[in-house]
């Protein structure tokens, strides 16, 4: 996966990245800004396609990559549930069957008939996440958007990730919060400038990343 910096120089967003994600795991992607994490998620979600190599997902993939992605701002929350659900591959009958569960988990029932352009970023994320998890994917791909949610919603997400893991589902997420990755993930991969540094169990991978950071403040916060 590459972009072009100039006429004479190629820039590879990802290069020689190879690892396995254990089925049924919650897998974190960590690294500093510009390390290639979000690009890799977009490859997993088939938004980008690698120029070399391949990605082999086993089962249906649902992705929540950006706040409001797949939503039409002029439509209501209710209408966007049906729109976004269909984009993610659900039939209208399936969406109707899960509608109440989607709205209940999102916590936006009071505003469900308002245009989503009036929603806060947190409401966007809660509704988008609620739709994505109810697609019942084998693999759920989640970018930094969960950081927008409040503590209560993040706790609901943790419980939902545990439920998905118990069902043998796989969650792949990006976060700059090492506390969140340590709390939610059992495996992780550390990327740096488009290359894989290490991948394996979450705790030693996170610790290796934190040890690489220079200042005490970075060590505490885990920000890249």
Considering the domain architecture, whether residues 51 and 146 belong to the same structural domain is answered as: yes
Tell me, what CATH number does 96's domain have?
Answer: 1.10.8
Cα separations in angstroms, 64 against 117, 144, 145, 173, 201 = 18, 9, 8, 9, 24
Considering the domain architecture, whether residues 51 and 157 belong to the same structural domain is answered as: yes
Confidence of residue 146 (pLDDT cuts 50, 70, 90): low
Is residue 179's pLDDT more than 70? yes
Phi-psi region of 17 (alpha: psi -120 to 50; beta: other; left: phi over 0): beta
| pLDDT score for 3 | 54
Q: Let me know if residue 83 belongs to a domain.
A: yes
Q: Let me know if residue 7 belongs to a domain.
A: no
| pLDDT score for 224 | 46
Percentage with pLDDT > 90 across the chain: 33
pTM reported for the whole predicted model: 0.76
Of 66 and 91, more confident: 91
Considering the domain architecture, whether residues 168 and 184 belong to the same structural domain is answered as: yes
Q: What is the rounded distance in angstroms from the CA atom of residue 70 to the CA atom of residue 87?
A: 7
Q: Let me know if residue 10 belongs to a domain.
A: no
Confidence of residue 103 (pLDDT cuts 50, 70, 90): very high
- Residues 40-74 as b/e (b if ≥16 CB within 10 A, e otherwise) read bbbbbbeebeeeeeeeebeeebbbbbbbbbbbeee
| pLDDT score for 155 | 82
Structure tokens at 141: 């791909």
Which residues are registered as beta bridge partners of 106? Answer: none
Considering the domain architecture, whether residues 81 and 46 belong to the same structural domain is answered as: no
Q: What is the rounded distance in angstroms from the CA atom of residue 31 to the CA atom of residue 178?
A: 10
Tell me, what CATH number does 180's domain have?
Answer: 3.40.50.300
Confidence of residue 143 (pLDDT cuts 50, 70, 90): confident
- The enclosing H or E element of 141 equals strand 139-142
| pLDDT score for 6 | 47
Counting the structural domains of the chain, the total is 2
Considering the domain architecture, whether residues 212 and 118 belong to the same structural domain is answered as: no
Which residues are registered as beta bridge partners of 12? Answer: 2
Give the residue numbers spanning the domain of 195. 17-59+138-224
Confidence of residue 47 (pLDDT cuts 50, 70, 90): confident
């Amino acid at each position: 996966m590459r972009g072009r910096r100039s006429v004479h120089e190629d820039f590879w967003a990802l290069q020689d990245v190879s690892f396995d994600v254990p089925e049924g795991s919650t897998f974190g992607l960590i690294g500093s800004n510009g390390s290639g994490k979000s690009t890799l998620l977009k490859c997993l979600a088939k938004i980008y396609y690698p120029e070399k190599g391949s990605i082999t997902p086993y089962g249906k993939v649902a992705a929540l990559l950006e706040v409001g992605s797949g939503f039409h701002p002029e439509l209501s929350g209710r209408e966007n549930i049906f729109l976004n659900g269909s984009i993610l591959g659900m039939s209208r009958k399936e969406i109707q069957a899960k509608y109440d569960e989607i709205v209940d988990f999102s916590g936006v029932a009071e505003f469900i008939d308002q245009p989503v352009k009036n929603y806060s970023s947190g409401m966007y994320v809660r509704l988008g996440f609620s739709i994505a998890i109810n697609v019942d994917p084998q693999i759920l791909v989640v970018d930094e958007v969960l950081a927008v949610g409040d503590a209560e919603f993040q706790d609901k997400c943790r419980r939902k990730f545990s439920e998905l893991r118990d069902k043998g589902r796989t969650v792949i997420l990006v976060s700059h919060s090492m506390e969140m990755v340590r709390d939610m993930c059992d495996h992780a991969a550390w990327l740096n400038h488009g290359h894989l540094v290490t991948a394996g169990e979450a705790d030693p991978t996170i610790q290796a990343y934190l040890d690489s950071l220079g200042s005490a403040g970075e060590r505490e916060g885990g920000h890249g």
